[in-house]
Chains A and B, each alone.
Chain A
Amino acid sequence: MVSPLVFWIVAGITIIAALAVVNLTNLIHSALWLIVAFVGVAITYLILEAEFLAAVQIIVYAGAIAILIVFGVMLTRRGDIRESNLFNNYRLAGGLISLGLMATIVTMVVKTQWAIDVAAVPANSVGLLAQNLLGQFVIPFEIAAMLLLVALVGAIIIAKEVRD
Protein backbone atom coordinates (compact mmCIF):
# COMPACT_ATOMS: atom_id res chain seq x y z
CA MET A 1 0.00 0.00 0.00
CA VAL A 2 1.03 3.57 -0.61
CA SER A 3 -0.79 5.31 2.18
CA PRO A 4 1.65 4.92 5.15
CA LEU A 5 4.40 6.63 3.15
CA VAL A 6 2.03 9.34 1.94
CA PHE A 7 0.77 9.80 5.47
CA TRP A 8 4.25 10.37 6.88
CA ILE A 9 5.13 12.86 4.16
CA VAL A 10 1.89 14.77 4.67
CA ALA A 11 2.22 14.66 8.45
CA GLY A 12 5.77 15.98 8.18
CA ILE A 13 4.70 18.86 5.94
CA THR A 14 1.81 19.69 8.26
CA ILE A 15 4.05 19.82 11.33
CA ILE A 16 6.72 21.88 9.57
CA ALA A 17 4.00 24.29 8.45
CA ALA A 18 2.61 24.52 11.97
CA LEU A 19 6.08 25.26 13.36
CA ALA A 20 6.57 27.93 10.71
CA VAL A 21 3.29 29.57 11.78
CA VAL A 22 4.64 29.98 15.29
CA ASN A 23 8.23 30.86 14.49
CA LEU A 24 8.05 33.25 11.53
CA THR A 25 8.15 36.92 12.44
CA ASN A 26 5.83 38.14 9.70
CA LEU A 27 2.16 37.63 10.52
CA ILE A 28 1.13 37.31 6.88
CA HIS A 29 3.73 34.60 6.31
CA SER A 30 2.40 32.83 9.38
CA ALA A 31 -1.12 33.02 7.95
CA LEU A 32 0.06 31.56 4.63
CA TRP A 33 1.83 28.69 6.37
CA LEU A 34 -1.36 28.11 8.34
CA ILE A 35 -3.09 27.45 5.01
CA VAL A 36 -0.44 24.82 4.21
CA ALA A 37 -1.11 23.18 7.58
CA PHE A 38 -4.88 23.21 6.88
CA VAL A 39 -4.38 21.60 3.48
CA GLY A 40 -2.15 18.98 5.11
CA VAL A 41 -4.95 18.11 7.52
CA ALA A 42 -7.39 17.92 4.59
CA ILE A 43 -5.12 15.41 2.83
CA THR A 44 -4.96 13.39 6.05
CA TYR A 45 -8.77 13.23 5.98
CA LEU A 46 -8.56 12.02 2.38
CA ILE A 47 -6.17 9.25 3.40
CA LEU A 48 -8.85 8.22 5.91
CA GLU A 49 -11.32 8.21 2.97
CA ALA A 50 -13.39 10.97 4.58
CA GLU A 51 -13.70 12.98 1.39
CA PHE A 52 -16.59 15.19 2.46
CA LEU A 53 -14.74 16.21 5.59
CA ALA A 54 -11.62 16.90 3.53
CA ALA A 55 -13.58 19.22 1.24
CA VAL A 56 -15.13 20.95 4.25
CA GLN A 57 -11.67 21.43 5.73
CA ILE A 58 -10.53 23.10 2.49
CA ILE A 59 -13.62 25.29 2.11
CA VAL A 60 -13.95 26.49 5.69
CA TYR A 61 -10.36 26.57 6.89
CA ALA A 62 -8.12 27.05 3.86
CA GLY A 63 -10.73 29.16 2.06
CA ALA A 64 -12.67 31.23 4.57
CA ILE A 65 -10.78 31.33 7.87
CA ALA A 66 -7.42 32.03 6.21
CA ILE A 67 -8.92 35.03 4.42
CA LEU A 68 -10.55 36.21 7.63
CA ILE A 69 -7.21 36.02 9.44
CA VAL A 70 -5.39 37.98 6.73
CA PHE A 71 -8.09 40.65 6.70
CA GLY A 72 -7.93 40.75 10.48
CA VAL A 73 -4.16 41.25 10.34
CA MET A 74 -4.51 43.99 7.73
CA LEU A 75 -7.13 45.67 9.88
CA THR A 76 -5.26 45.74 13.18
CA ARG A 77 -1.72 46.17 11.93
CA ARG A 78 0.26 49.18 13.07
CA GLY A 79 4.01 49.42 12.67
CA ASP A 80 6.34 47.16 10.71
CA ILE A 81 4.62 44.04 9.41
CA ARG A 82 7.94 42.21 9.08
CA GLU A 83 8.28 42.09 12.85
CA SER A 84 4.69 41.60 13.81
CA ASN A 85 4.82 38.05 15.15
CA LEU A 86 7.63 38.12 17.70
CA PHE A 87 7.87 36.11 20.89
CA ASN A 88 6.86 38.10 23.93
CA ASN A 89 6.90 37.74 27.71
CA TYR A 90 4.19 35.10 27.68
CA ARG A 91 6.57 32.63 26.07
CA LEU A 92 7.02 30.56 29.23
CA ALA A 93 3.34 30.53 30.26
CA GLY A 94 2.26 29.72 26.70
CA GLY A 95 4.78 26.92 26.45
CA LEU A 96 3.61 25.38 29.73
CA ILE A 97 -0.06 25.49 28.72
CA SER A 98 0.77 23.95 25.33
CA LEU A 99 2.77 21.19 27.01
CA GLY A 100 -0.14 20.46 29.34
CA LEU A 101 -2.56 20.30 26.42
CA MET A 102 -0.22 18.04 24.50
CA ALA A 103 0.22 15.73 27.48
CA THR A 104 -3.55 15.46 27.81
CA ILE A 105 -4.03 14.64 24.14
CA VAL A 106 -1.19 12.10 24.10
CA THR A 107 -2.60 10.38 27.18
CA MET A 108 -6.03 10.22 25.55
CA VAL A 109 -4.64 8.83 22.31
CA VAL A 110 -2.55 6.18 24.06
CA LYS A 111 -5.32 5.11 26.46
CA THR A 112 -8.11 4.83 23.90
CA GLN A 113 -8.89 1.43 22.42
CA TRP A 114 -9.08 2.24 18.70
CA ALA A 115 -11.65 0.12 16.91
CA ILE A 116 -10.41 -0.31 13.35
CA ASP A 117 -13.21 -0.78 10.84
CA VAL A 118 -12.02 -2.37 7.61
CA ALA A 119 -15.42 -2.19 5.91
CA ALA A 120 -15.57 -0.02 2.80
CA VAL A 121 -16.87 3.52 3.19
CA PRO A 122 -20.48 3.66 1.96
CA ALA A 123 -20.84 5.54 -1.34
CA ASN A 124 -23.62 7.74 0.00
CA SER A 125 -21.80 8.79 3.17
CA VAL A 126 -22.87 12.41 2.64
CA GLY A 127 -26.53 11.39 2.66
CA LEU A 128 -26.01 9.30 5.79
CA LEU A 129 -24.42 12.33 7.40
CA ALA A 130 -27.56 14.34 6.65
CA GLN A 131 -29.74 11.57 8.08
CA ASN A 132 -27.85 11.71 11.35
CA LEU A 133 -27.77 15.50 11.43
CA LEU A 134 -31.48 15.95 10.87
CA GLY A 135 -32.55 12.83 12.74
CA GLN A 136 -30.70 11.83 15.85
CA PHE A 137 -28.67 15.02 16.27
CA VAL A 138 -31.24 17.61 15.26
CA ILE A 139 -31.05 19.55 18.54
CA PRO A 140 -27.23 20.04 18.40
CA PHE A 141 -27.68 20.91 14.73
CA GLU A 142 -30.11 23.75 15.47
CA ILE A 143 -27.93 24.86 18.38
CA ALA A 144 -25.04 25.08 15.91
CA ALA A 145 -27.11 27.57 13.94
CA MET A 146 -27.70 29.57 17.11
CA LEU A 147 -23.97 29.44 17.85
CA LEU A 148 -23.18 30.80 14.40
CA LEU A 149 -25.75 33.55 14.89
CA VAL A 150 -24.30 34.52 18.27
CA ALA A 151 -20.77 34.55 16.81
CA LEU A 152 -21.90 36.81 13.97
CA VAL A 153 -23.76 39.23 16.22
CA GLY A 154 -20.90 39.37 18.72
CA ALA A 155 -18.29 40.00 16.05
CA ILE A 156 -20.38 42.76 14.49
CA ILE A 157 -20.82 44.47 17.85
CA ILE A 158 -17.06 44.39 18.51
CA ALA A 159 -16.22 45.53 14.98
CA LYS A 160 -18.68 48.41 15.23
CA GLU A 161 -16.82 49.70 18.26
CA VAL A 162 -13.59 49.65 16.24
CA ARG A 163 -15.23 51.56 13.43
CA ASP A 164 -16.81 54.29 15.57
Chain B
Amino acid sequence: MENLFVNISGALRGWFTGMGLPPMAVEAIMALVFLVAILAFVLLNVVYLVYLERKLSAYMQQRLGPNRVGPRGLFQTLLDVLKLFGKEDIIPNAADRWVFRLAAILVMVPAIMAFAVVPFGQGMIAVDLNIGIFYFVAVSSTATIAFLMAGWGSNNKWALLGGMRTVAQMVSYELPMVLSLLGVVMLAGSLRISDIMAAQKTVWFVVLQPVAFLIYLVASTAELNRQPFDLPEGEQELTAGPFTEYSGMRYALFFLAEYTNMIAVSAIAATLFLGGPQGPWLPSWLWFVIKVYVMIGIYMWFRWTFPRIRMDHLLAFNWKFLVPLSLANVLVTGIGLEIYKWFQTIRW
Protein backbone atom coordinates (compact mmCIF):
# COMPACT_ATOMS: atom_id res chain seq x y z
CA MET B 1 0.00 0.00 0.00
CA GLU B 2 2.79 2.39 0.97
CA ASN B 3 4.22 2.59 -2.53
CA LEU B 4 0.96 2.33 -4.44
CA PHE B 5 1.11 5.72 -6.15
CA VAL B 6 4.89 5.74 -6.45
CA ASN B 7 4.67 2.39 -8.27
CA ILE B 8 1.92 3.61 -10.57
CA SER B 9 3.99 6.66 -11.53
CA GLY B 10 7.08 4.46 -11.95
CA ALA B 11 5.16 2.09 -14.22
CA LEU B 12 3.83 4.97 -16.30
CA ARG B 13 7.30 6.46 -16.60
CA GLY B 14 8.69 3.11 -17.69
CA TRP B 15 5.89 2.73 -20.21
CA PHE B 16 6.44 6.16 -21.75
CA THR B 17 10.21 5.60 -21.91
CA GLY B 18 9.57 2.22 -23.51
CA MET B 19 7.59 3.92 -26.26
CA GLY B 20 10.87 5.51 -27.38
CA LEU B 21 10.04 9.07 -26.35
CA PRO B 22 12.95 11.45 -25.63
CA PRO B 23 13.61 11.98 -21.88
CA MET B 24 12.39 15.59 -22.02
CA ALA B 25 9.04 14.51 -23.46
CA VAL B 26 8.71 11.79 -20.81
CA GLU B 27 9.30 14.40 -18.10
CA ALA B 28 6.71 16.67 -19.67
CA ILE B 29 4.11 13.91 -19.88
CA MET B 30 4.85 12.83 -16.30
CA ALA B 31 4.37 16.43 -15.10
CA LEU B 32 1.03 16.43 -16.87
CA VAL B 33 0.09 13.12 -15.23
CA PHE B 34 0.97 14.49 -11.78
CA LEU B 35 -1.03 17.61 -12.49
CA VAL B 36 -4.11 15.67 -13.58
CA ALA B 37 -3.85 13.51 -10.46
CA ILE B 38 -3.50 16.60 -8.27
CA LEU B 39 -6.42 18.33 -9.96
CA ALA B 40 -8.61 15.26 -9.54
CA PHE B 41 -7.67 15.02 -5.86
CA VAL B 42 -8.25 18.72 -5.25
CA LEU B 43 -11.58 18.99 -7.09
CA LEU B 44 -12.98 15.88 -5.42
CA ASN B 45 -11.93 17.17 -2.02
CA VAL B 46 -13.27 20.67 -2.61
CA VAL B 47 -16.72 19.30 -3.43
CA TYR B 48 -16.78 17.36 -0.20
CA LEU B 49 -15.12 20.11 1.82
CA VAL B 50 -18.04 22.39 1.00
CA TYR B 51 -20.37 19.65 2.16
CA LEU B 52 -18.25 19.03 5.26
CA GLU B 53 -18.15 22.72 6.08
CA ARG B 54 -21.93 23.03 5.81
CA LYS B 55 -22.46 19.93 7.94
CA LEU B 56 -19.93 21.02 10.56
CA SER B 57 -21.41 24.51 10.76
CA ALA B 58 -24.84 23.00 11.10
CA TYR B 59 -23.84 20.69 13.93
CA MET B 60 -22.06 23.52 15.74
CA GLN B 61 -25.32 25.45 15.62
CA GLN B 62 -27.51 22.44 16.42
CA ARG B 63 -28.96 22.27 12.95
CA LEU B 64 -28.97 19.34 10.55
CA GLY B 65 -27.42 20.94 7.49
CA PRO B 66 -27.96 19.60 3.97
CA ASN B 67 -29.80 16.28 4.25
CA ARG B 68 -32.22 16.08 1.34
CA VAL B 69 -30.13 15.33 -1.74
CA GLY B 70 -28.90 11.76 -1.60
CA PRO B 71 -28.17 9.81 1.59
CA ARG B 72 -27.45 12.35 4.36
CA GLY B 73 -27.27 15.05 1.71
CA LEU B 74 -24.06 13.66 0.23
CA PHE B 75 -24.88 14.73 -3.33
CA GLN B 76 -25.74 18.30 -2.33
CA THR B 77 -22.59 20.09 -3.49
CA LEU B 78 -22.17 17.84 -6.51
CA LEU B 79 -25.55 18.98 -7.77
CA ASP B 80 -24.80 22.56 -6.72
CA VAL B 81 -21.82 22.46 -9.08
CA LEU B 82 -23.99 21.12 -11.91
CA LYS B 83 -26.53 23.83 -11.22
CA LEU B 84 -23.84 26.52 -11.40
CA PHE B 85 -22.88 25.23 -14.86
CA GLY B 86 -26.33 26.09 -16.05
CA LYS B 87 -26.40 29.60 -14.60
CA GLU B 88 -26.18 32.66 -16.80
CA ASP B 89 -22.86 34.49 -16.91
CA ILE B 90 -23.60 38.17 -16.37
CA ILE B 91 -21.01 40.82 -17.16
CA PRO B 92 -22.29 44.25 -16.15
CA ASN B 93 -22.24 46.90 -18.86
CA ALA B 94 -20.17 49.22 -16.72
CA ALA B 95 -17.49 46.60 -16.00
CA ASP B 96 -14.01 46.73 -17.43
CA ARG B 97 -14.76 43.61 -19.48
CA TRP B 98 -11.34 42.03 -19.94
CA VAL B 99 -10.13 42.71 -16.43
CA PHE B 100 -13.42 41.34 -15.10
CA ARG B 101 -13.18 38.19 -17.23
CA LEU B 102 -9.50 37.49 -16.65
CA ALA B 103 -9.77 37.83 -12.86
CA ALA B 104 -11.87 34.67 -12.59
CA ILE B 105 -9.39 32.71 -14.69
CA LEU B 106 -6.27 34.04 -12.96
CA VAL B 107 -7.54 33.38 -9.44
CA MET B 108 -7.02 29.64 -9.97
CA VAL B 109 -3.42 29.97 -11.17
CA PRO B 110 -1.63 30.49 -7.83
CA ALA B 111 -3.99 28.00 -6.20
CA ILE B 112 -3.02 25.24 -8.63
CA MET B 113 0.66 26.18 -8.92
CA ALA B 114 1.12 25.91 -5.14
CA PHE B 115 0.50 22.16 -5.34
CA ALA B 116 3.69 21.64 -7.35
CA VAL B 117 5.68 21.45 -4.11
CA VAL B 118 3.14 19.66 -1.91
CA PRO B 119 4.38 16.23 -0.77
CA PHE B 120 1.33 13.95 -0.98
CA GLY B 121 3.35 11.06 0.34
CA GLN B 122 6.87 9.67 0.65
CA GLY B 123 8.47 10.51 -2.75
CA MET B 124 5.22 11.98 -4.05
CA ILE B 125 6.24 15.59 -4.68
CA ALA B 126 5.48 16.69 -8.24
CA VAL B 127 8.44 19.09 -8.39
CA ASP B 128 10.95 18.86 -5.54
CA LEU B 129 12.55 22.27 -6.09
CA ASN B 130 15.71 23.37 -4.30
CA ILE B 131 13.86 26.47 -3.16
CA GLY B 132 10.67 24.47 -2.36
CA ILE B 133 9.08 26.50 0.41
CA PHE B 134 10.28 29.80 -1.05
CA TYR B 135 8.49 28.87 -4.26
CA PHE B 136 5.28 28.47 -2.26
CA VAL B 137 5.82 31.93 -0.76
CA ALA B 138 6.36 33.41 -4.23
CA VAL B 139 3.30 31.77 -5.74
CA SER B 140 0.99 32.71 -2.89
CA SER B 141 2.19 36.32 -2.99
CA THR B 142 0.62 36.70 -6.44
CA ALA B 143 -2.83 35.62 -5.23
CA THR B 144 -3.72 39.24 -4.43
CA ILE B 145 -3.63 40.31 -8.07
CA ALA B 146 -6.75 38.40 -9.10
CA PHE B 147 -8.74 39.89 -6.21
CA LEU B 148 -7.57 43.35 -7.12
CA MET B 149 -8.59 42.76 -10.74
CA ALA B 150 -12.00 41.42 -9.71
CA GLY B 151 -12.63 44.34 -7.39
CA TRP B 152 -11.49 46.97 -9.81
CA GLY B 153 -12.86 45.42 -12.98
CA SER B 154 -16.41 45.11 -11.65
CA ASN B 155 -16.79 48.90 -11.50
CA ASN B 156 -19.01 48.43 -8.48
CA LYS B 157 -18.51 50.20 -5.19
CA TRP B 158 -18.94 47.11 -3.03
CA ALA B 159 -16.55 45.19 -5.25
CA LEU B 160 -13.90 47.90 -5.26
CA LEU B 161 -14.04 48.39 -1.49
CA GLY B 162 -13.90 44.63 -1.02
CA GLY B 163 -11.04 44.29 -3.46
CA MET B 164 -8.97 47.01 -1.82
CA ARG B 165 -9.61 45.54 1.61
CA THR B 166 -8.68 42.06 0.43
CA VAL B 167 -5.41 43.31 -0.94
CA ALA B 168 -4.56 45.36 2.16
CA GLN B 169 -5.35 42.38 4.37
CA MET B 170 -3.60 39.71 2.31
CA VAL B 171 -0.54 41.86 1.81
CA SER B 172 -0.30 42.65 5.53
CA TYR B 173 -0.73 39.09 6.75
CA GLU B 174 1.70 37.74 4.21
CA LEU B 175 4.54 39.13 6.31
CA PRO B 176 3.95 37.19 9.55
CA MET B 177 3.20 34.08 7.48
CA VAL B 178 6.48 34.33 5.59
CA LEU B 179 8.41 35.21 8.76
CA SER B 180 6.93 32.31 10.71
CA LEU B 181 8.21 29.87 8.09
CA LEU B 182 11.73 31.20 8.73
CA GLY B 183 11.96 29.39 12.06
CA VAL B 184 11.31 26.10 10.30
CA VAL B 185 13.89 26.88 7.63
CA MET B 186 16.48 27.69 10.30
CA LEU B 187 15.90 24.35 12.01
CA ALA B 188 15.88 22.33 8.80
CA GLY B 189 18.75 24.23 7.17
CA SER B 190 17.14 23.86 3.76
CA LEU B 191 14.29 25.18 1.67
CA ARG B 192 13.73 21.88 -0.09
CA ILE B 193 10.49 20.22 0.99
CA SER B 194 11.97 16.71 1.18
CA ASP B 195 14.79 17.97 3.43
CA ILE B 196 12.31 19.69 5.74
CA MET B 197 10.33 16.45 5.94
CA ALA B 198 13.50 14.46 6.71
CA ALA B 199 14.44 16.93 9.47
CA GLN B 200 11.18 16.07 11.26
CA LYS B 201 11.87 12.32 11.45
CA THR B 202 12.22 12.44 15.25
CA VAL B 203 10.43 15.59 16.38
CA TRP B 204 7.70 17.51 14.57
CA PHE B 205 8.48 21.18 14.17
CA VAL B 206 5.22 22.10 15.86
CA VAL B 207 6.94 21.07 19.09
CA LEU B 208 10.09 23.11 18.45
CA GLN B 209 8.28 26.06 16.85
CA PRO B 210 4.92 26.37 18.62
CA VAL B 211 4.84 30.16 18.31
CA ALA B 212 5.61 29.99 14.59
CA PHE B 213 2.83 27.45 14.16
CA LEU B 214 0.31 29.70 15.88
CA ILE B 215 1.42 32.71 13.84
CA TYR B 216 1.13 30.66 10.67
CA LEU B 217 -2.33 29.49 11.66
CA VAL B 218 -3.61 33.01 12.28
CA ALA B 219 -1.88 34.59 9.28
CA SER B 220 -2.98 31.87 6.89
CA THR B 221 -6.59 32.24 8.01
CA ALA B 222 -6.30 35.89 7.07
CA GLU B 223 -4.62 34.98 3.76
CA LEU B 224 -7.57 32.73 2.98
CA ASN B 225 -10.02 35.53 3.82
CA ARG B 226 -11.86 33.16 6.08
CA GLN B 227 -13.73 34.01 9.25
CA PRO B 228 -12.89 35.76 11.54
CA PHE B 229 -10.87 37.61 8.87
CA ASP B 230 -13.56 37.64 6.18
CA LEU B 231 -13.90 41.41 6.03
CA PRO B 232 -13.25 41.59 2.29
CA GLU B 233 -16.49 39.79 1.58
CA GLY B 234 -18.29 40.54 4.82
CA GLU B 235 -21.81 40.04 3.51
CA GLN B 236 -23.45 42.33 6.05
CA GLU B 237 -21.49 45.34 4.87
CA LEU B 238 -20.08 44.67 1.40
CA THR B 239 -22.66 42.31 -0.15
CA ALA B 240 -20.08 39.84 -1.46
CA GLY B 241 -16.96 42.00 -1.68
CA PRO B 242 -15.00 41.60 -4.90
CA PHE B 243 -17.38 38.89 -6.13
CA THR B 244 -20.52 41.04 -5.97
CA GLU B 245 -20.98 41.22 -9.75
CA TYR B 246 -19.91 37.65 -10.50
CA SER B 247 -22.40 34.93 -11.30
CA GLY B 248 -22.57 31.36 -12.54
CA MET B 249 -19.37 29.48 -13.23
CA ARG B 250 -17.25 32.61 -13.02
CA TYR B 251 -18.34 33.01 -9.39
CA ALA B 252 -17.78 29.30 -8.81
CA LEU B 253 -14.14 29.69 -9.87
CA PHE B 254 -13.57 32.15 -7.03
CA PHE B 255 -15.29 29.81 -4.64
CA LEU B 256 -13.22 26.90 -5.92
CA ALA B 257 -10.01 28.91 -5.58
CA GLU B 258 -10.84 29.71 -1.95
CA TYR B 259 -11.18 26.05 -1.04
CA THR B 260 -8.22 25.00 -3.19
CA ASN B 261 -6.12 27.56 -1.35
CA MET B 262 -7.37 26.19 1.94
CA ILE B 263 -6.17 22.71 0.99
CA ALA B 264 -2.82 24.10 -0.19
CA VAL B 265 -2.25 26.13 2.98
CA SER B 266 -3.26 23.19 5.17
CA ALA B 267 -0.94 20.91 3.20
CA ILE B 268 1.98 23.28 3.70
CA ALA B 269 1.18 23.52 7.42
CA ALA B 270 1.06 19.72 7.65
CA THR B 271 4.38 19.48 5.82
CA LEU B 272 6.26 22.13 7.74
CA PHE B 273 4.88 21.68 11.23
CA LEU B 274 3.21 18.29 11.49
CA GLY B 275 5.96 16.14 10.03
CA GLY B 276 4.51 15.87 6.54
CA PRO B 277 3.53 12.45 5.21
CA GLN B 278 5.19 10.45 7.98
CA GLY B 279 3.67 8.27 10.62
CA PRO B 280 3.50 4.71 11.89
CA TRP B 281 1.37 1.80 10.56
CA LEU B 282 -0.59 3.65 7.89
CA PRO B 283 0.78 4.46 4.41
CA SER B 284 2.38 7.89 4.15
CA TRP B 285 -0.15 9.37 1.72
CA LEU B 286 -2.99 8.43 4.08
CA TRP B 287 -1.19 10.13 6.95
CA PHE B 288 -0.83 13.19 4.83
CA VAL B 289 -4.54 13.35 4.00
CA ILE B 290 -5.39 12.89 7.70
CA LYS B 291 -3.07 15.73 8.72
CA VAL B 292 -4.43 18.01 6.02
CA TYR B 293 -7.95 17.32 7.20
CA VAL B 294 -6.98 18.07 10.80
CA MET B 295 -5.70 21.46 9.66
CA ILE B 296 -8.83 22.10 7.60
CA GLY B 297 -10.91 21.13 10.62
CA ILE B 298 -9.12 23.78 12.64
CA TYR B 299 -9.92 26.46 10.04
CA MET B 300 -13.58 25.45 10.03
CA TRP B 301 -13.63 25.42 13.81
CA PHE B 302 -12.22 28.98 13.83
CA ARG B 303 -15.10 30.04 11.68
CA TRP B 304 -17.76 29.39 14.29
CA THR B 305 -15.66 30.33 17.28
CA PHE B 306 -14.55 33.90 16.61
CA PRO B 307 -16.68 36.83 15.56
CA ARG B 308 -15.48 38.97 12.66
CA ILE B 309 -13.04 41.67 13.73
CA ARG B 310 -13.02 45.28 12.64
CA MET B 311 -10.77 46.50 9.82
CA ASP B 312 -8.62 48.80 11.95
CA HIS B 313 -8.27 46.12 14.63
CA LEU B 314 -7.35 43.61 11.96
CA LEU B 315 -4.48 45.69 10.63
CA ALA B 316 -3.33 46.89 14.05
CA PHE B 317 -3.25 43.28 15.26
CA ASN B 318 -1.03 42.37 12.33
CA TRP B 319 1.41 45.25 12.34
CA LYS B 320 1.61 45.91 16.06
CA PHE B 321 1.51 42.34 17.30
CA LEU B 322 2.04 39.58 14.75
CA VAL B 323 4.93 41.13 12.80
CA PRO B 324 6.99 42.04 15.91
CA LEU B 325 6.15 38.65 17.41
CA SER B 326 7.29 36.75 14.33
CA LEU B 327 10.53 38.74 14.22
CA ALA B 328 11.06 37.92 17.90
CA ASN B 329 10.42 34.26 17.10
CA VAL B 330 13.22 34.32 14.52
CA LEU B 331 15.52 35.90 17.09
CA VAL B 332 14.65 33.41 19.83
CA THR B 333 15.05 30.49 17.44
CA GLY B 334 18.47 31.83 16.50
CA ILE B 335 19.56 32.18 20.13
CA GLY B 336 18.20 28.73 20.92
CA LEU B 337 20.13 27.16 18.04
CA GLU B 338 23.33 28.95 19.09
CA ILE B 339 22.97 27.67 22.65
CA TYR B 340 22.30 24.16 21.29
CA LYS B 341 25.44 24.38 19.14
CA TRP B 342 27.44 25.59 22.13
CA PHE B 343 26.20 22.68 24.26
CA GLN B 344 27.31 20.23 21.61
CA THR B 345 30.86 21.61 21.59
CA ILE B 346 31.33 21.12 25.36
CA ARG B 347 33.05 17.89 26.32
CA TRP B 348 31.33 16.78 29.47
Could you list which residues of chain A lie within 8 angstroms of chain B, going by C-beta atoms? 2, 26, 28-29, 32, 35, 51-52, 54-56, 58-59, 62-64, 66-67, 70-71, 74, 123-126
Contact = CB atoms under 8 A, between A and B. Distances in A.
Interface in B162-216: 164, 167, 171, 174, 190-191
B139 interface: yes
**Interface majority SS (helix, strand, loop, mixed), chain B:** helix
Given A26-B96, A67-B144, A71-B164, 19 more contacts: A28-B152, A29-B99, A32-B149, A35-B145, A51-B129, A54-B138, A55-B134, A55-B135, A55-B137, A58-B142, A62-B142, A63-B144, A64-B171, A66-B145, A67-B148, A123-B130, A124-B130, A124-B190, A126-B134
A78 to B, nearest CB: 16
Nearest to A68: B171
Interface string B125-159: 00001110011011101101100110010000000
B8 interface: no
A67 B167 contact: yes
A26 B155 CA distance: 14
Contacts of A125: 130
B141 A59 contact: yes
B24 interface: yes
B131 A126 contact: yes
Contacts of B141: 58-59, 62-64
Contacts of B134: 52, 55, 126
A32 B100 CA distance: 12
A66 B99 CA distance: 15
Given A52-B131, A126-B130, A58 B191 contact: no
B148 A70 contact: yes
Nearest to A1: B24
B210 to A, nearest CB: 26
Given A64-B171, A67-B167, A70-B148, A55 B142 contact: no
Nearest to A74: B164
17 contacts: A2-B24, A29-B99, A32-B149, A51-B129, A55-B135, A58-B139, A63-B174, A67-B144, A67-B145, A67-B148, A67-B167, A70-B152, A70-B167, A74-B164, A125-B130, A126-B130, A126-B134
